[in-house]
Chains A and B, each alone.
Chain A
Amino acid sequence: MRISDLKKGQCGTIKGFFAGDLPEKFYEMGLLPGIRVELYNDSWSKDPLYLKMEGCALAIRKAEADKIEVELEK
């Protein structure tokens, strides 16, 4: 599933990236395989998304969230 498929409050671990152009800045800000993210807050039509990771919080758009694969944490 994709980060954008997470529901508000759900956590997932990044598995990899779907084909497409994800700017390097996403990697450098720490959105990398093995990292645990929480969809902390969404907005209307889930765009943009408020993500929480270890140590920091980020906002990204749905278009980019669609390209990041996560494994849902039960």
Chain B
Amino acid sequence: MLRIALLGNPNTGKTSLFNLLTGLNQKVGNYPGITTEKKVGILEFNQKQRAEIIDLPGLYSLTPSSTDEAIVTQILVDAQNSHHPDVAVVIADATNLKRNLFLYTQVKDLGIPTLLVINMMDEAVRKGIHIDKEILERRFQTPVVKVSVRKNKGIDTLKEKLGEPIAPAQNATIPSRSKTHPAYKPNAKQLRLQESIYRYRAIRDVLKEALTVNQAEARDLTSKLDRVLTHKVWGYAIFLLVLSLIFQAIFSWAGTPMDWIDQGFNSFGKWLQWVMPAGVFTDLLSQGVIPGIAGVVMFIPQIAILFLFLTLLEESGYMSRVVFLLDKFMRRFGLSGKSVVPLISGVACAIPAILSARNIENERERLTTIMVTPFMTCSARIPVYTILIAVVIPNQKWGIFNLQGLVLMGMYILGVTTALLAAAVFKKVLKRKYKSFLIVELPPYRMPQFRNVWISMLEKTKAFVYKAGQVILAISVVLWFLANYGYREETAVPAAQMAYENSPHKPEDFQTFASGYRLKHSYLGRLGRFIEPVVAPLGYDWKIGIALLASIAAREVFVGTLATVYSVQDEGDEAPIKQRLLGEVRADGSRLFDLATGISLLLFYAFAMQCMSTIAVVRSETRSWKWPAIQFGYMTVLAYVAALLAYQILK
């Protein structure tokens, strides 16, 4: 099958074109380098002809400066590479042809049959830019297609052209190097400078003939916006405003749908218990699976809104301005302006965030960014924080401020602060001298395309729910099993009876006491009591200990685990989880979830590295077990110490 590689500068609409050609939906963004993974799709010309299309990360030249760019160079230069394409399609932005043609001439010089696609023709026409296709085709000896991906124009012509055989151009821009293409290997800086000058000169010669700009028609909204958005004072003020609007939206818009989902699951569980025959399987569903699934589904509204805003920031081009605004500040902590993107994305989920660190050129800044990103308050922490805050923080109001809301905001601030401080520590520890620089394009602002935003939000939310859903489903089934077996029924009842008689205070009836007694003597109870000495100094009982243990797989499991444990204990009583937490008491009859234990748990979840998927991603991104091991170690120690101090001081 014909293999076609799609490549081009960042922000040229490459991924949108990929979506149009293949119908395969995936992430597209306006932030330089958002396509961090290689994506493959199938293009069907008609019933007979098909081609494989690879969407490569955006890049400016074939001399790699970052991991992302290195991947592309490798694929294109090495003819033996399994992804080496038969045809390269270079997509260029019509409003900035000169810089876009730089990459194009480099690709063409490799001797790969190349097709030039000029995108954003609608915008170019508005800006009074006229491009002569025939002259470009003659001078570059390659087919040229003008399109507007946004307006879905010229795509059929492009498909037609791709169906025809394309010959490699014979007139290389830098002939002496094209034969062996080592131009991209020798590292002599002077040579590179010469090459750049020569290439740009050749491009200018072509464009002198092929490009005319009618200045009178040009208008530049981006410049006007940037007067304010990158302003010394207003720029920062607006950035903070944007951030607070996002958080406001997440917590106010999501509230109502979350209540619906919660109630819906509750009624569903009750209904199931009513219609299904009583037995082990019904118990498993109503006590294990449903509370577990509800724990994830309930947070879909918040997570979807979060992803929606992140996509808008990237698609509009605003994220690059944030890089500009925060570069100086981030440098103090051994990070780069480009670290802002992973850190902000980390508020949704650390996994895509760590992948997006790939376009940080400097190895050390990239590593530091990866190491501290999991401190950002990811969406998996939201369920844990929400429930704990609702239980331990009084619902007090001071004017427009709500104490619970402030504490939640405080948790986000704690996350960012810890990430930055940890980065500063890494800066001190990894003293090695290193070269750091920043060069980032500030692309024109573009109205986000509804289709792209919608697809991106949907895909990311789906990925989160499936990932979390599977883990939670598995864990809740295992937990339910462990909580229901391990004791012998015939000995348990008399033993419980005896313990009940001997117990000094009898706050509950015998039934409740007996099921609590059974739980305590189940496999789960034994495991919990085995780890209790470790978690007791933090103010936790063995049930919280079990929830912590389960959370090593993923944080969001915490609420579901407690829900499962308590519903087994209360024999399927469907009281809201919050009521159950409030009802838990210690041996002396005092509330278990008091302020000290609550704060201790909040701190533990803020600092601990409880996510298997993140560990796996860090391992693959740093290509070693060393960094994920260090990360897991220091974060766990920090979490334990912080939780210990909090409990011992507040107790």
Binding site for B on A (CB under 8 A): 17, 21, 23-30, 32-33, 40-45, 47-48, 50, 52, 54-61, 63-64
Contact = CB atoms under 8 A, between A and B. Distances in A.
Contact of B65 (A24, A41, A64): A24
B592 to A, nearest CB: 50
Interface stretch (B319-327, B572-580, B581-589, B621-629): B319-327
B441 interface: yes
Given A50-B226, A55-B95, A55-B99, A43 B441 contact: no
Contacts of B63: 24-25, 28
A42 B231 CA distance: 8
B361 interface: yes
B105 to A, nearest CB: 12
Interface in B159-189: 189
Contacts of B223: 40, 52
Contacts of B337: 48, 59
Sort A-B residue pairs by CB-CB distance and give the 10 closest, nearest first: A27-B196, A55-B96, A28-B61, A57-B442, A59-B324, A24-B192, A25-B65, A56-B96, A59-B440, A61-B438
B278 interface: no
A43 B325 contact: yes
Contact of A30 (B200, B230, B323, B327): B200
A65 B202 CA distance: 26
Nearest to A55: B96
Contacts, number: 111
Contacts of B226: 40-41, 50, 57
Given A27-B192, A40-B226, A59 B327 contact: yes
Contact of B437 (A27, A33, A40, A64): A64
B102 A33 contact: no
Best-buried of A23, A32, A52, A64 by chain B (most CB within 10 Å): A23
Interface residues of B, number: 39
B232 interface: yes
A48 B99 contact: no
A10 to B, nearest CB: 15
Contacts of A48: 324, 327-328, 337, 438
Given A43-B325, A44-B328, A56-B99, A64 B196 contact: no
Contacts of A47: 327-328
Best-buried of B98, B197, B232, B439 by chain A (most CB within 10 Å): B439
Interface in B217-233: 222-223, 226-227, 230-232
A25 B328 contact: no
Interface string B77-96: 00000000000000000011
Contacts of B464: none
A60 B440 CA distance: 7
A18 to B, nearest CB: 13
A55 B102 CA distance: 13
Nearest to B226: A41
Contacts of A59: 320, 323-324, 327, 337, 438-440, 442
Nearest to B200: A32
Given A57-B442, A64-B437, A43 B361 contact: no
B626 to A, nearest CB: 28
A12 B505 CA distance: 86
Contacts of B97: 55
B197 A28 contact: no
Interface in B493-552: none
Given A24-B65, A24-B189, A61 B102 contact: no
A59 B65 CA distance: 16
Contacts of A28: 60-61, 63, 102, 192, 196
B328 A43 contact: yes
Best-buried of A17, A26, A27, A40 by chain B (most CB within 10 Å): A27
A1 to B, nearest CB: 20
Contact of B442 (A32, A58, A63): A58
Given A24-B63, A27-B193, A58 B440 contact: yes
Nearest to B99: A30
A61 B437 contact: yes
Nearest to A54: B98
A23 B60 CA distance: 13
Interface in B323-360: 323-325, 327-328, 337
Contacts of A45: 328
A38 to B, nearest CB: 10
Contacts of A54: 98
B442 A50 contact: yes
Contacts of A33: 197
A27 B324 CA distance: 20
A27 B328 CA distance: 23
Nearest to A28: B61
Interface in B423-465: 435, 437-443
Nearest to B102: A28
A27 B65 CA distance: 12
Nearest to A49: B324
